[in-house]
């Protein structure tokens, strides 16, 4: 781009952010995942440090474990430790010390599942042997904000924390105490239908995979307290910025109206990025960085990034991948989902996090959606979704979604029993 005008930014979104590569006449149908964990001391439930003499810390463990696995250590652009794995992907740290494994894009769901299992299961077992429990839950169930300080002090995170703190406590909780399971998929030859379906499906993804009803040892009244935190974070950069008539323009308005939190304040306030177009001459890199500070339920990044699910127990990884791939990549399932789902709705998103599948209407649609996805996965063939992996996804559906239950119900049941 030569000039950051509104028209130029809209063209950038259409040509780069909302579009990905198509391999000739064949759509790649790739999948990727970002898997987050909250590390706590096994015996006490206290949050682990990154590199501290006062508490059990994860960086020394990762160096020992990764050294045996052939991992390479480097630093991210933020200046934080990063581990690159021989089989693909990276481990990085979130602001509160949460660990995130980002996979490479894989050509099939089963290939991604095989990679995730080969990385996550042995890592968690090794961590447990050193007194570290890598929790696969949406929010820290044990600690208050005081027990989970910010551990990564990159400039980006400092500015984000300062901005969000003005809005209330949700920013600290989100940055330091939440974890998610994010799925990435290609736009390919059906970009706008996939964009619509994923945005419309976001509330149901929240409900289906809710597992964070307890925070800091207390029941919260929400099936996904993580989703509740996001709803209270900053409506200018979260939610569902979707308009069926003009999807790119809707996202452009969303981006331009969001405060540019990485820019200096003016009169003590963070001004919208759109205002900076008239006050200064932002660069392409600053536009890119600003887009990375937007956190909608579905984020376009040259691919679709579905961000709605709480962190998921590894034995159930097949379920969110089946839901995503089955709906997006099988043409019949994609159109069936478009017919089934209501238009994206913020009110529905709030109810999904609070009530989960205890809302009868959400539960009914969620079950129908999963049925469509499973049929879609079967249509993709065993080379894309192996029958044993599909059986695992179906087992999750049968145990939870079909019965209008989620892992949050198990968490609450265990809390009652204790």
Using the CB atoms, write b or e for 362-385: b if 16+ within 10 Å. bbebbbbbbbbbbebbbebeeebb
Spatial separation of the C-alpha atoms in residues 82 and 37, rounded to whole Å: 15
Mean pLDDT of 79-94: 96
Entry pTM: 0.96
Mean pLDDT of 73-83: 93
Take residue 178 and report the two structure tokens written for it. Answer: 């939440």
Residue 303 near residue 102 (C-beta atoms within 8 A): no
SS3 at position 37: strand
Rg of the chain in Å (alpha carbons)? 21
Spatial separation of the C-alpha atoms in residues 272 and 237, rounded to whole Å: 11
pLDDT by residue (tens digit) across 321-352? 999 999 999 999 999 999 999 998 889 999 99
Task: Name the average pLDDT for the chain.
Answer: 95
Cα–Cα distances (Å) from 280 to 4, 51, 259, 263, in that order, read 10, 40, 15, 11
Spatial separation of the C-alpha atoms in residues 235 and 230, rounded to whole Å: 9
Enumerate the β-bridge partners of residue 31: 106, 185
Mean pLDDT of 287-310: 97
Q: What angle do CA 142, 146, 148 make, to 5 degrees?
A: 60
Q: What is the CATH number of domain 6-410?
A: 3.30.590.20
How many helices (H) and strands (E) the chain has is answered by 16, 13
SS3 at position 190: coil
């Amino acid at each position: 781009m030569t000039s950051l005008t509104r028209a130029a930014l809209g063209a950038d979104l259409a040509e780069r952010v909302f579009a990905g590569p198509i391999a000739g006449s064949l759509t790649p149908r790739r999948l990727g995942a970002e898997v987050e964990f909250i590390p706590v001391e096994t015996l006490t439930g206290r949050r682990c440090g990154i590199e501290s003499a006062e508490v059990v810390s994860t960086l020394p463990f990762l160096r020992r474990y990764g050294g045996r696995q052939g991992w390479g250590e480097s630093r991210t652009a933020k200046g934080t430790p990063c581990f690159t794995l021989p089989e693909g992907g990276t481990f990085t740290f979130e602001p509160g010390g949460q660990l995130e494994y980002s996979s490479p894009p894989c050509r099939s769901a089963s290939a991604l599942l095989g990679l995730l299992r080969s990385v996550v299961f042995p890592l968690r077992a090794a961590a447990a042997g050193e007194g570290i429990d890598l929790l696969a839950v949406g929010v820290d169930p044990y600690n208050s904000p005081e027990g989970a300080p910010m551990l990564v002090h990159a400039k980006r995170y400092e500015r984000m924390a300062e901005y969000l703190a003005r809005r209330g406590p949700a920013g600290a909780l989100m940055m330091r105490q939440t974890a998610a399971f994010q799925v990435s998929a290609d736009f390919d030859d059906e970009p706008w239908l996939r964009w619509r379906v994923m945005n419309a499906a976001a509330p149901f993804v929240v409900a289906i995979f809710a597992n964070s009803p307890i925070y800091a040892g207390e029941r919260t009244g929400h099936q996904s307290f993580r989703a509740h935190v996001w709803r209270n974070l900053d409506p200018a950069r979260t939610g569902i910025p979707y308009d069926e008539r003009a999807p790119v323009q809707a996202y452009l308005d969303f981006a331009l109206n969001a405060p540019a939190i990485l820019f200096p304040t003016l009169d003590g306030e963070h001004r919208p990025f759109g205002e900076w177009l008239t006050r200064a001459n932002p660069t392409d890199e600053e536009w890119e960085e600003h887009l990375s500070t937007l956190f909608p339920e579905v984020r376009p990044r040259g691919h679709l990034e579905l961000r709605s699910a709480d962190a998921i127990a590894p034995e159930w990884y097949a379920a969110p991948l089946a839901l995503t791939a089955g709906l997006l990549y099988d043409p019949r399932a994609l159109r069936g989902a478009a017919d089934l789902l209501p238009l994206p709705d913020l009110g529905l998103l709030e109810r999904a996090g609070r009530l989960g599948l205890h809302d009868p209407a959400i539960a009914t649609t969620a079950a129908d959606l999963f049925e469509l996805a499973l049929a879609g996965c079967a249509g993709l063939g065993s080379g894309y979704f192996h029958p044993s992996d599909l059986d695992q996804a179906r087992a999750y559906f049968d145990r939870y979604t079909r019965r209008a239950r989620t892992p949050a119900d198990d968490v609450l049941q265990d809390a009652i029993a204790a």
